[in-house]
Amino acid sequence: MNESPMRVANAPVSFGVNEILPDDAWMPEPDQILDMMVRIGYEGTELGPPGYLGTAEQLRERLSTRGLALVGSFLPLHFSRAERAEEERVWLREQLRLITEGAPDGSRPLAILCDGFGEPERFAFAGRIPEHPEAWLPAERFRVLMDNLHRAAEICRAAGLEAVLHFHAGTYIESDAEIRRVVEAMDPALLGLVLDTGHAAFGGADPTSLANDYHELIRHVHVKDCDLGVMAAVKREGKGLEEALDRGVFTELGRGDSGIDRVIEALKVHGYHGWLVVEQDRWLRRDDTLEALFDAQLVNREYLRTLGI
Task: Give pLDDT tens digits for 183-208.
Answer: 999 999 999 999 999 999 999 999 99
Contacts of residue 229, defined as CB under 8 A and 6 or more positions apart, other chains included, come to 257
Task: Give pLDDT tens digits for 123-133.
Answer: 899 999 999 99
End-to-end CA distance of the chain: 9
Cα(161)–Cα(190) distance, rounded to whole angstroms? 11
pLDDT (0 to 100) of residue 308: 96
CA angle 74, 78, 81 (to 5 degrees): 165
Query: What average pLDDT is seen over the chain?
Result: 95
| Claim: this prediction has a pTM higher than 0.85 | yes
Strand pairing report for 44-46 and 69-77: parallel
Provide the percentage of residues in the chain whose pLDDT is more than 70.
97
Cα(37)–Cα(209) distance, rounded to whole angstroms? 30
For the residues 255-284, what does the mean pLDDT come to?
A: 96
Cα(154)–Cα(193) distance, rounded to whole angstroms? 15
Is 250 a residue whose pLDDT tops 60? yes
Q: What domains appear along the chain, each with residue ranges and CATH number?
A: 7-306 (3.20.20.150)
Is 265 a residue whose pLDDT tops 90? yes
Query: How buried is residue 232: exposed, middle or buried, by Cβ count under 10 Å (0-12/13-18/19+)?
Result: exposed
Is 78 a residue whose pLDDT tops 50? yes
Beta bridge partners of 276: 8, 221
Is 18 a residue whose pLDDT tops 90? no
